[in-house]
Each structure stands twice: as C-alpha cells, then as structure tokens.
C-alpha cells in the first residue's frame, strides 16, 4: 500500500452515516502538498510541510496530532485558503482551494470575538458578512446559541463571559453560516480541564447530528481519540508529512463515557508510541 493510500485510509467511517470512497467529493483531499514560508533575506523558502497526503471524507471528523512546530497550523491555514500550497493538490468540497470561502469555517485557539459586539451579534457576524439580512442572521444566531447553551447570554458582551463561554460563542459563529467543513486549531487548549471536557461533550453532541466534515488539530492524544473518526499522525518538522492514519473504531455517538471504553486507552497508547518514536 502506498503512503498516499495509507494516509487516506480505505476503511468505511464508523460515524453513524456510512461514508464510502464512491462519494465523489471529499471534505478535504490533499495530495503531496508542500507549504512553505518566505523568509526575509533568504532566497529559499522555509519548507514547513512537504509531500503531505490525507483525506477528510464528508461527515468525518479527522484529528491531526504531531510534535510542536511540525506544521499542523500551517496545514489548517492552507485548507482554510489562508496560505497557498507550493506544490501538490489541495481540494475542499470537490473544488481546488484558491482562497477562503463560505463552505468552511475556522475555530482558533483564541476565541477572537469582536469586543464591541454582543454575543448574538458575534454569532451572527459571519452570516452578516456574507450578506444575510440582519433579522435572518440574528434568528439563526439564536438557534446556534441555544445549541451551544448560551441563550441567556445573547445580550452579553465577550468580556462578561468565561473563556469556555467565549469559545462556545466562537463555535456558534462558525456553525451559523452552515459550512460543510469546520476547521479547528486547538480550540480548547487554553481552557481548564473541566471547561475543556464540557466543550468536548458539546462538540460531540453537535457532531452526532450533523453531516459536516471536520479537521481538528490538538496536542492532546486523548482528545483526538475521543473526537476523531480517524487520527492523522505527523512527523516532526521541517518538511513534515503524515505517516499514519489511525481509524478510531469506537461507537458513535461519542460521550464522556467513551473514555471508559475498553479500547480507548489502547488507541491512546498506540498513537503515543508513534509520536514518541517521532521525537527521537
């Protein structure tokens, strides 16, 4: 089996809705992508990611783990359309990536809410920027705030919220425009353990009801196993690439109790050993 086949995987997703290779469009289809940064005063770019190949299928949540600095955020930026790939091919929802688009939304580690806007206006902001009428955007924002448990805080301002509530607002904003693909860059990393578990549970609940695809970057192996249909393991940088795509065959819907599943720790240990081998 080639590296490309191994990373893309050929196993049917274990999410409730079966995903087959026959579905013509992938959420993300990356083939041998290289991504670099131009460094001032140097003629050669710094190659952060080289020849990386992976897929995210429709309705699948794929997590990426890898050593710090290996290029996870760089990959996510490229998929978001914020950075070009220097070689290889990258398509989202069946179309080559040429820039940001409404079919995908990003949730970053920092909630990056607009401090002068209320929670409801922050949640509606993405929709408004795509030209949706204010009343429609607000109604949609209220639906999403209910889903993330913030109905009572619609009129609050970000400074009045805890870090976890800010990140819930951020999630509502990302979901409001109904993107087919959600991109998460360590969205719960700055939260304390309890808030992180609550947000994970929230995301799993939302994910069970959606057919969206997700690409989720995390440093926490247990979080990757808990949330992912598959976990991609990256080599260390520079010029990193994906070496393994581990199918997480744990039942859906996932909940906090999924951590108690007899296979859970086996997955964590396996991925841990792959990463430990990468650090030497």
Ligand X SMILES: Nc1ncnc2c1ncn2[C@@H]1O[C@H](COP(=O)(O)OP(=O)(O)OP(=O)(O)O)[C@@H](O)[C@H]1O
Q: Which of residues 139-168 bind ligand X (CB under 6 A)?
A: none
215, 56 in Cβ contact below 8 A?
Answer: yes
- When asked if residue 220 is in the footprint of Mg ion (CB under 5 A), the reply is no
- When asked if residue 73 is in the footprint of Mg ion (CB under 5 A), the reply is yes
Count CB atoms within 10 A of the CB of residue 191: 19
Closest CA relative to residue 169, chosen from 108, 101, 256, 102: 108
- When asked if residue 48 is in the footprint of ligand X (CB under 6 A), the reply is yes
Name the 3-class secondary structure at 58.
Answer: coil
Q: How far is the CB of 52 from Mg ion (least distance, A)?
A: 15
The string of DSSP codes covering 157-180 is -GGGS-HHHHHHHHHHHHHHT--S
Phi–psi pair at 252, nearest 5 degrees? -105, 150
Q: Which is nearer to Mg ion, 47 or 141 (CB)?
A: 47
- When asked if residue 37 is in the footprint of ligand X (CB under 6 A), the reply is yes
Total interface residues for ligand X by CB under 6 A: 13
Out of 68, 135, 257, 279, the only residue in the binding site for ligand X (CB under 6 A) is 68
Sole window of 6-14, 65-73, 126-134, 271-279 interacting with Mg ion (rule: CB under 5 A): 65-73
Residue labelled with tokens 């990373």: 7
Angstrom distance (rounded) from CA 135 to CA 231: 40
Q: How far is the CB of 183 from ligand X (least distance, A)?
A: 13
- Indicate the DSSP class of residue 12: P
Q: Which is nearer to ligand X, 71 or 164 (CB)?
A: 71
- When asked if residue 235 is in the footprint of ligand X (CB under 6 A), the reply is no
Q: Which residues contact Mg ion (rule: CB under 5 A)?
A: 73
Which residues sit at the interface with ligand X, rule CB under 6 A? 37, 46, 48, 66, 68-74, 237-238
């Amino acid at each position: 089996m080639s590296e490309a086949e191994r990373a893309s995987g050929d196993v049917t997703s274990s999410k409730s809705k079966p995903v087959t290779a026959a579905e013509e469009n992938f959420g993300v289809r990356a083939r041998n992508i290289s991504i670099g940064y131009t460094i001032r005063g140097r003629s050669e770019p710094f190659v952060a990611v080289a020849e990386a190949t992976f897929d995210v299928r429709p309705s699948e949540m794929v997590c990426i783990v890898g050593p710090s600095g290996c290029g996870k955020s760089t990959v996510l930026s490229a998929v978001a359309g914020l950075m070009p790939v220097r070689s290889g091919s990258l398509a989202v929802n069946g179309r080559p990536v040429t820039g940001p688009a409404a079919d995908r939304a990003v949730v970053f580690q920092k909630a990056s809410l607009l401090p002068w806007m209320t929670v409801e206006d922050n949640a509606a902001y993405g929709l408004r920027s795509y030209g949706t009428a204010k009343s429609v955007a607000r109604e949609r924002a209220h639906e999403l705030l209910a889903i993330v448990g913030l109905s009572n805080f619609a009129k609050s301002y970000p400074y009045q919220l805890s870090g976890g509530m800010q990140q819930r607002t951020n999630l509502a904003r990302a979901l409001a425009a109904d993107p087919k693909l959600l991109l998460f860059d360590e969205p719960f990393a700055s939260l304390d353990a309890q808030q992180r578990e609550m947000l994970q549970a929230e995301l799993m609940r939302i994910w069970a009801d959606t057919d969206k695809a997700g690409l989720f970057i995390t440093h926490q192996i247990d979080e990757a196993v808990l949330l992912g249909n598959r976990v991609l393991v990256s080599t260390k940088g520079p010029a990193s690439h994906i070496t393994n795509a581990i199918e997480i065959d744990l039942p859906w819907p996932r909940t906090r109790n999924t951590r108690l599943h007899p296979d859970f720790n086996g997955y964590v240990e396996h991925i841990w050993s792959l990463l430990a081998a990468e650090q030497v």
